[in-house]
Amino acid sequence: MSLKFFKPLFDSSSWLLQELNVEQKGVFFSYFLGFLALLWFLCFFISNNSNKRLPPGPKALPLIGNLFSLDPELHTYFASLSQTYGPICRLWLGKKIGIIITSPALAREVLKDQDTIFANRDVPAAGREATYGGNDITWTPYGPKWRMLRKVCVRDMLSGSTLDSVYGLRKKELRQTINYFYSQKDLPVNVGEQMFLTVLNVITSMLWGGTVKGEERANLGAEFRHVVNEMTELLGTPNVSDFYPGLDWFDLQGVIKKMKVLAKRFDKIFESMIDQRQKMDRNAEMGADVGQESKDFLQVLLKLKDEADSKIPLTMTELKALLMDMVVGGTDTTANVVEFAMAEIMNKPDVLRKLQQEVDTVVGKDNIVEESHIQQLPYFYAVMKEALRLHPALPLLVPHCPSETCTVGGYTVPEGSRVFINVWAIQRDPSIWKNPTEFHPERFLANKWDYSGNDFNYFPFGSGRRICAGIAMAERMFMYSLASLIHSFDWKLSEGETLDLTEKFGIVLKKKMPLVAIPIPRLSNPTLYDNYYMLIDKSVYCNLFSLEPELHTYFASLSQTYGPICKLWLGKKLGIIITSPALARKVLKEQDTIFANRDVPAAGRELSYGGADIVWNPFGPKWRMLKKVCVRDMLGGSALDSVYALRKKELRQTINYFYCQAGLPVNVGEQMFLTVFNVITSTLWGGTVKGEERANLGAEFRHVVYGITELLGTPNVSDFYLGLDWFDLQGVTKKMKVLAKRFDKIFESMIDQRQKMDRNAEMGAGVGQESKDFLQVLLKLKDEADAKMPDMVVGGTATAANTVEFAMAEIMNKPNVLRKLQQELDTIVGKDNIVEEFHIQQLPYFYAVMKEVLRLHPILPLLVPHCPSETSIVGGYTVPKGSRVFLNVWAIHRDPSIWENRTEFHPEIFLDNKCDYSGNDFNYFPFGSGRRMCAGIAMAERIFMFLLASLIHSFNWKLSKGENLDLTEKFGIVLKKEMPLVAIPTPRLSNPTLYE
């Protein structure tokens, strides 16, 4: 007897009993079991006469029936019962009767011959709560209302013409996924997880792609992922209320309460979307929104609601229930089948080869897959059918429920039974299928089997009136996704890994072990992987089409071919690449005033209040004032000294975290990012916001910073073709506007709180407050306060954190360097003390390490591009006004004519020479030079030195057994490690209290 299946029931009931003592629990269960016994015996005697001709099945226990004997893998357990008791058998599920059908002939009786009787559902409590009382197409009883909802889905939402109208939304989401896989090339990726996110984004994009845009839709995606996961978990939880309807009111496991909370979160989002769409439609009727994009599903549904038949209206509740079906019902199903298909294909190299040959013939390796191609891919269709045969999305379909007692296969099936059609077992029946467990797509090339539901040997989407309404959508998403994945990449497992095709039963069948595979690009041109490829025709890209993702190395290779100054046409804009110290001096020193401006990208302009910050502000009096404020009032020595306690507090928390993880692998780069982020925000308003409020702000800012850095690194058509700026074709400006507003809202709150504190202090109510934070300093400048804070938060986090991560990796790769650093620290600090910031001036070898790291891995490998305010001459060549000028400091720092053993990490080279980062030596200028040199050098130096010294002093570091250090770089706004540094800290100080 197995209790594994029913374990969740006991786990989720614990909340009811946790306040009771042993004696009270005994009394409770005595009453509870007595009540169940009375209920069961009443039901038994009432129904005794009608149960005489029930199908055969295993013996049942009083009260609980066969519940305790159920195996968690229901599809295989039910298949084993059919081998013992025949193609129709029964189980007692508490008070309910479960009927299991495992043959094509009996499935035909249920789904075709008696389809009307079996066209209802036995609605579980969780499903009823999730779908506004069962008002959706899945659970609504068969009748006029259900027919109306079905018609809305099949004709108006999921018809061919409607799906065609939102193809652009599907394509956009899939191209982003292909771009993501490309960015992870040669690295293991979780295929199923990415397909889930893709399908979810596609569905929500189609639901309200024209209603919600930019960052707001991205945030909704994250919200939905969380809620959908919780909902599917609740729908799969064995619930006493479903097995004993008399107990429904008690909600013993709290399933209804939990689902009610989740449903309310959905409802709140639906209400918001509906309000926005109705407002947009009213504006359109008034002529205020001419030229808007094609309709999304929400717009279609709202129109249907307004035009519905008064006898059978489409209510707002039913409209929202349909939205719920689309989001919850359409994500896992498609994503899991694609994952199974990919796993089966990788397990059959000959199948992969045939698929790639077919798609190369139809699409070609110099093009991308379009949805229009999929009708020309018969072998892909065969693969889809075979994947759905072996791994049907819903292995038991959605259980049916007869509306009256009837006969199936000569046995009585009582009214209200829960009828399971084991399509998984039928589709693996050896009497129907040759080699039933083998993945063999060819079987679908030579016959007419399809998934229309007319052949009861093969019906993965069900059959009859309740056949899945989303087949057309599922077919398009599966075919388009699979063809794009197979066309764009070769796929392999990590070395030593083996494919596991084991299934895990659930509402939706899934792989027990997720498919983690390595994508290897196979198309002819890297730009075919760009997520903006579809926006503009190739012919107008000029050199844009030939750019490689790793721009710093690509630009270095161009300089070897074309010399130390060369050009690229970036759309309508001219790019100039400088790769020599002499020409860098021309630009940053001799003609510094001319090149002291920036070519402001649309995303940067939106983030910085119209370019009002120190990074993008045009050179002139306003910029000089901002620079003076930064260097003198915010980032000067005395200002940094005044907030040292805030920095120290954050760093000590990080050291304590690593100590708690001693002996375990930790992601060093991730922890460095969080530490630097907390240091900077603490410095900004550490005296203004405290405790839980500041922790919450940290989480908010982390999300916004990630979004901002991604947008700043997105190639934006508006930056290359200024005439297209107004159209914002990629939505970069709109997305950045949303993020900037979130920044602004937080900044306004901080400013209000600080002003209130300062007024109280002036009145004597704040005597004894802690030292000033930067916000207090900035408020003296009033108008510039807002523009400064994004620079500090966005510009100061990833830069310092990534440099520390590179330093740690290089040090761990050179044990002699680590030994010298620890010897220096032990001499200056001692192993019975902690590092303080005043120690760092006494650590010359640490300074040498910092300089060497910044040589090999400069923070901004191309600096921030400059823009000449007038046409000038550099190296004998004309540099037109308005060009975008890239200083490839990364390449200069690795120039073999300047640096001996240029790619080797050798800090000693900075012990005996006077190279520094003041910007006066154009062989080495990691922070830039001239007027636009980084204003935060002093801050960066302190954070880097303090962090690195504390990490090296407090711990020894090693890799996990069998791991190797990877120092590969990944280009971005800020240079980063392609593979994060995961290392194991081992405490080395003399006293554990030093880690507190």
Which residues define the annotated binding site for heme? 468
Alpha helices in 829-936 (DSSP H): 844-856, 889-892
Pairing of strands 516-521, 565-570: unpaired
Whether the Cβ atoms of residue 75 and residue 422 lie closer than 8 Å to each other: yes
Q: Which residues contact 174 (CB under 8 A, 6 or more apart)?
A: 198, 202, 480, 481, 484
Q: Which residues contact 907 (CB under 8 A, 6 or more apart)?
A: 817, 845, 848, 849, 851, 852
User: Annotated binding residues, as ranges?
Assistant: 468
Q: Residue 795: which of 619, 630, 974, 671 has the closest Cα? A: 974
Element holding 511 (H helix, E strand): strand 510-511
DSSP designation for 519: E
Helix, strand, or coil (residue 984): strand
CA distance 859 to 166: 41
Query: How far apart are the C-alpha atoms of 984 and 705, rounded to whole Å?
Result: 28
- H-helix or E-strand spanning residue 490: strand 489-492
How far apart CA 101 and CA 86 sit, in angstroms, is 9
Q: Are 152 and 469 in contact (CB under 8 A)?
A: no
3-class DSSP state for residue 413? strand
Q: How far apart are the first and last CA of the chain?
A: 51
**DSSP state at residue 833:** S
Residues 6 or more apart in contact with residue 132 via CB below 8 angstroms? 263, 317, 318, 320, 321, 324
Q: How far apart are CA 308 and CA 312, in angstroms?
A: 7
Sign of CA dihedral 371, 203, 522, 537: positive
Query: E-assigned strands of 278-376?
Result: none
Distance in angstroms (rounded) separating the CA atoms of residues 55 and 97: 10
For residue 349, report the phi and psi dihedrals to the nearest 5 degrees: -55, -30
C-alpha distances (whole Å) from 900 to each of 59, 293, 468, 578 are 83, 58, 68, 21
Q: Is the dihedral of CA 762, 768, 771, 773 positive or negative?
A: negative
| Torsion angle of the four alpha carbons 706, 708, 714, 718, in this order, in degrees rounded to the nearest 10 | 170
| Residue whose entry in the numeric block shows the structure tokens 């929500």 | 204
Q: What distance in Å separates the CA atoms of residue 655 and residue 495, rounded to the nearest whole number? A: 35
d(CA 927, CA 564): 20
Q: Which is nearest to 591 in space by CA: 871, 398, 374?
A: 871
CA separation for the pair 167, 764 (Å, rounded): 64
b/e per residue 168-189 (b: at least 16 CB within 10 A): ebbbbbbbebbbbbbeeeeeeb
By the 8 A CB rule, do 867 and 885 touch? yes
- The whole-angstrom separation of Cα 235 and Cα 138 is 13
Cβ contact 223:265 at 8 Å: yes
Consecutive H or E run containing 821: helix 815-828
Report d(CA 671, CA 679) in Å as an integer. Answer: 12
Tell me how far CA of residue 842 lies from CA of 837, 845, 847, in angstroms. Answer: 10, 9, 9
Q: Please name the residue ranges forming H helices in 544-663.
A: 551-562, 581-585, 602-607, 621-628, 637-642, 644-660
